[in-house]
Chains A and B, each alone.
Chain A
Amino acid sequence: MQGKCGLFFTTYAKECQVFHTDFQKSTVALFFLVLLAAPFFLSSYQVSLLNLINIAVIGAVSLNLLTGSCGQISLGHGAFIGVGAYATGICTLNGWPFLPALLFGGATTALVGMIFGIPSLRLKGIYLAIATLAAQLILVYIFMHWTSVTGGAIGMGLDPPVILGYSFDTDLKMFYLTLFFAVSAVLIVKNILRTKSGRAFVAIRDFHLSAESVGINLFRYKLQAFGVSSFLAGIAGGLWAHYTMYINPEQFEIGLSIQYLAMIIIGGLGSVIGSVFGAVFLTLLPEALGIVANLLSGFFPDISTYFLAMRDGIFGLILVFFLIFEPDGLARRWQLAKSYFKLHPFAH
């Protein structure tokens, strides 16, 4: 089987490898070395952005597994992240250690996600999207009104995570924790996609009737996709809750779901590396706009009053722009850039 230029695979297993060449392995290793050392050279604010990116990567990768690879549109991912955040927070407030609480949060979210995933057997496409939209709104209502458990609109104050007596109370310490979970989430999803389940997900996305007729149990695999995706969303929620140390229902409104959907669209549907690009892009976008607004404030003194509306507007414009002009997202641009350098003087 012919792979990329100069690569020749003799077995399927070899073709499925995550990294094909030593060059790939060494660049990835180099990238992680730089990433691990980076926080020491960055300001605390920049490290906090890295933390947010790590958490967004977990959420985006998990949503991409469900929506991009399995084709089940979910408009409720923000609320699922919220379930994880509240479940983890409630456990640690009751004296649980952080790691079991985080796992419990993930498991609770997986359960909730699977309950809302049950209709996916009957509902497809737009109907499923509307059902998950209902899930999103109902869950936020529950966060808001089950005051005895969630604290309602006042929210919930939390402590930084403590693992085996070691407290992750600064951005720098937190960075390594979130990076660990982000890398794990990426590896988990990447590897799921290489297994039988992953191929089943893709088959269901491409055409569910053909998938069923070649013996894929639709119900089982759809539920599995909802379960894994929601579990990771719950982990992202738990980390986010303990990183910001405060949660309230407004954080998990439908805007968050849209944000995550935008990440996987801008990054590239069904692509793991694309979810990472999308998460980085959309976390840094408001910062970049903030810098531009600051630069422009000399010319337009009242720009700060319009900033919020402009930020949303530009977010929407970028989303529409990507959908119209680059539906395969940043992942495709990345491929094009790589092949450009690989083939450099010869374009074909």
Chain B
Amino acid sequence: MEYYLHLVLNGLVIGSIYSLVALGFVIIYKATKVVNFAQGELVMFGAYICFALTVQMGLPFLVSFFMTLIFSVILGLCLERVILRPMIGEPIISVIMVTIGLSTVLKAAIQLFWGTQVRVYPQVLPSEPIWILGLPVAPVYIAAFCLSVVLFVIFSLFFKYSTMGIAMRATAFDQQAAQSMGIGVKNIFAMSWCIAAVVSSIGGIILGNINGITPQLGHLGLKVFPAVILGGLDSLLGAALGGLIIGVLENLSDGLAQQFFGLAGFREVAAYFILVIILMIKPYGLFGTPEIERV
């Protein structure tokens, strides 16, 4: 029993990272209808910038944390202006491929600057475990979980009450109508890429504190798809819950597969099996808006 509890707790931790990355994905999709395959690389970018600032430049962690966020804002703005804006109105395959190309470029750039070896962050939080339900949990994990929850609440409130958030939802709903009401659609697009880059960077920094970082981190971006499909592509709540659920299910099924079938490494694909099942029965996820097509 304790074994399963452990699996669930671990799943929640990994899941909270998935939620953060999925949050970034959903914000972009919600406002611009762009499916971002480079989400994992945005995570990696944040993690490496923060690493460079803390370890290579020797800045205090908090300073470099905030500087990383500024860098991600700049990155988000550049990406939107240079690469994504020419893609408005192009077929979906082009948009997918441009973000895939982008992810290749970002990954290559990171390898050029930092090489392929594992980089480890300095210890920021105490390593003394905290006991929850009789199980030891590292404080980093708790920080990750809390940060995810806080960010989710902030963004939910942002989308619900702030003028900018309402403008973003309006743009997502109908670009032409939003534009005729005086909303700068281009600014909204830029804004959503900034937010997504910032959220992803935070995810990356947390991950760096947990496991260290390698250029393989980008694969995380693919793990986002099960989470967002389960939650619904355009739902913030869905992204947050979807990430947690996928994290838990993935860990549980990995444990079960290992215990009963002796299958190693089922963790890598468990989420995609879940993804296929969801697509078969409920393609718009738990909270997504069904697409209605009219001629």
Q: Which residues of A contact B (CB under 8 A)?
A: 67, 71, 73, 119, 122-123, 125-127, 129-131, 133-135, 137-138, 141, 144-145, 209-210, 213, 254, 258, 261-262, 265, 269, 306, 308-317, 319-320, 323-324, 327
Contacts and interface: CB of A to CB of B under 8 A. Distances in A.
A306 B268 contact: no
Contacts of A324: 83, 86-87, 98
Contacts of B100: 258, 261, 319
Contact of B96 (A73, A145, A210, A320): A73
B269 interface: yes
A54 B265 CA distance: 36
B93 A138 contact: no
B149 interface: no
Among B104, B107, B264: residue with most chain A CB under 10 A: B104
Nearest to A324: B86
Interface string B203-245: 0000000000000000000100100010001000000000000
B94 A265 contact: yes
B102 interface: yes
Nearest to A119: B279
Given A119-B280, A129-B35, A130-B275, A138 B269 contact: yes
B273 A138 contact: yes
Nearest to B293: A209
A348 B258 CA distance: 70
A130 B272 CA distance: 9
Contacts of B96: 73, 126, 129
B179 interface: no
A125 B264 contact: no
Contact of B107 (A67, A265, A269, A312): A312
A144 B264 CA distance: 10
A289 to B, nearest CB: 12
B97 interface: yes
A273 to B, nearest CB: 19
A123 B105 contact: no
Contacts of B111: 308-309, 312
B246 to A, nearest CB: 13
B133 interface: no
A133 B109 contact: no
Pairs of residues from A and B, 9 with the lowest C-beta to C-beta distance, nearest first? A313-B108, A316-B104, A319-B101, A309-B111, A316-B105, A134-B272, A320-B101, A141-B269, A312-B108
A138 B92 CA distance: 24
A262 B90 CA distance: 16
Given A125-B92, A323-B94, A309 B108 contact: yes
B279 A313 contact: no
Given A316-B103, A320-B105, A327-B94, 15 more contacts: A119-B280, A122-B279, A134-B225, A134-B273, A134-B276, A134-B279, A137-B268, A138-B273, A309-B112, A312-B111, A313-B109, A317-B105, A320-B101, A323-B94, A323-B101
A145 B263 contact: yes
B101 A317 contact: yes
Contact of B104 (A122, A123, A265, A313): A313
A135 B273 CA distance: 9
B184 to A, nearest CB: 22
Interface string B103-127: 1110111011000000000000000
Contacts of B222: 133, 137, 254
Interface string B252-269: 000000000001110011
Contact of B93 (A73, A127, A209, A254): A73
Contacts of B229: 127, 130
Contacts of A119: 276, 279-280
B139 interface: no
B269 A306 contact: no
Contact of A131 (B108, B233, B265, B276): B276
Contacts of A131: 275-276, 279
